[in-house]
Amino acid sequence: MKRKISLFLVLVISTSLAMVGCSSKSDSKARVDTDLVKIGVFEPMTGANSAGGQLEVEGVKLANRLYPTVLGKKVELVFVDNKSDKVEAANAASNLVEKEKVNAIIGSSGSGNSMAAGDIVMEAKVPVVGATCTNPLVTVGNDYYFRVCFIDPFQGTVMAKYAAEKLKAKRVALLQEVSSDYSVGICKFFTDAFEKITGNKNAIVAKSNYNTGDQDFTAQLTNINSKNPDVIFAPGNVSEGALIIKQARQLGITTPIIGGDTWETPEFIDIGQEAVEGTVFSTFFASEITITEESKTFLDEYRKEYKKEPSSATALAYDAYLVILDAIKRANSTDPVKIRDEIAKTKNFHGAAGMITIDENNNAVKDAVLKIVKDGKFTYLDTIKPEEK
């Protein structure tokens, strides 16, 4: 009897393994042997990062409308809301690679959301191109994660140089969103650069923290003001950033407050109103400058479609889609691994937000743009090239 049971178990296990093997082979073919190319889009369409996520979705949709096919196949977008949550981001990535069988993925606004999906896409061997996820850790050690934006060491250095050279700052206070990988990372890079530029290890005179979703920053601002800084660097989510500036002005604090790319959403001005006039931040793209022929196409079509000026996040998401399509064309295949290999070879690609070259760390080599809020609008101020940082 025992021998019969053992033989039965061996037969069941062998059959199961064979089925798993067939399933795996079938999954692979499901991504390639079809007249459809599926590109997953996992973005925060709700939650704390939703302002940026929705802007990126606009860019992807526009790119897909203008370029709906590749290799004679229709490109279908599969949208999943990661809800500005790391657990949800991981679930969204799993859904796209396991259930939807996408060939490639775009996302996500919010570096923490991107990092949460990293191991999942790497194990599934499905390439991702991020639009605005600037934290260096997004691509570190992950052959399947790329981005079309610059990274925070460059952005932090650009803003440190602006504070020291343009604002003549000697003393800076930091107000960081401690629950945000983006905010903590860029504050660290700003600190390193500012101390190096000024030659003063005590140039950062205060560092205060807050959490995503906080509404009252009186305690942090009062502490910072007591240190008498020349500049306050406060990169973080758009809503909190605008509230920080608004409350600072209400407290009578006139110190210049500067930030990063996350501020470039309509909500920043809607919430901050006249309080955010004169604030300066780093970003990726300016609609006042037509860098490539694709820039002109993007600007013309976006204005026609949305009846407003595009943000940098929108332009970069548009570019993320185009980079994936370009890789598919060069690979002459929709196999995710072959797409990944061609994305890694991207050089001097003419995107809407400028030229894109992917370096050995899967990051884009790009210029930074400085913008100022002037007369209630985001206005181009300057362009900083990587070699000028």
For 201-247, how does the pLDDT look when each residue is reduced to its tens digit (9 = 90+)? 999 999 999 999 999 999 999 999 999 999 999 999 999 999 999 99
> How far, in Å, CA of 304 to CA of 62, rounded?
11
Residues 272, 158, single domain; the answer is yes
Say yes or no: 157 and 265 in one domain. Answer: yes
138 with 35, same domain?
yes
Q: Cα separation of 308 and 303, whole Å?
A: 5
- What pLDDT score was predicted for residue 291? 87
The per-residue pLDDT for 62 is: 98
Same domain, 96 and 226: no
Residues of the chain with pLDDT under 70: 1-30, 33, 387-389
- Residue 60 CA: distances (Å) to CA of 83, 112, 161, 271, 341: 18, 21, 33, 26, 22
**Residues 40 and 83 both lie in one domain:** yes
Domain assignment present for residue 352? The answer is yes
Torsion from C-alpha of 281, 133, 357, 385, nearest 10 degrees: 20
Q: Are residues 331 and 212 located together in one domain of the fold? A: no
CB-based burial label for 350 (10 Å; 0-12, 13-18, 19+) = middle
Is 365 domain-assigned?
no
Question: 254 and 379: one domain?
Answer: yes
Full-model pTM: 0.84
Between CA 157 and CA 193 the distance in angstroms is 5
Which residues on adjacent β-strands are paired with residue 274? none
Q: Looking at the domain assignment, is residue 363 inside a domain? A: no
pLDDT in tens, 301-311: 999 999 999 99
Diameter over CA atoms, the chain: 88
Tell me whether residue 382 is in a domain.
yes
Query: Do residues 167 and 70 share a domain?
Result: no
Cα Rg of the chain, angstroms: 23
Q: Is residue 35 part of a domain?
A: yes
For residues 188 and 276, membership in a common domain is answered with: yes
CATH of residue 304's domain is: 3.40.50.2300
On whether residue 14 sits in a domain, the answer given is no
Query: Based on the domain organization, do 170 and 250 belong to the same domain?
Result: yes
Considering the domain architecture, whether residues 175 and 272 belong to the same structural domain is answered as: yes
Q: Are residues 71 and 166 in the same domain?
A: no
Burial 303-324 (b: 16+ CB within 10 A, else e): eeeeeeebbbbbbbbbbbbbbb
Count of domains forming the chain = 2
Structural domain that includes position 194: 153-283+371-388
User: Closest Cα partner for 231 from 267, 261, 187?
Assistant: 187
Asked if the structure places residue 159 within a domain, the reply is: yes
Q: In which residue are the tokens 């909190």 written?
A: 240
At 160 the three-state DSSP class reads helix
- The per-residue pLDDT for 386 is 81
- The set of residues, in sequence order, having a beta carbon less than 8 Å from that of 303 and lying 6+ positions away, is 309, 310
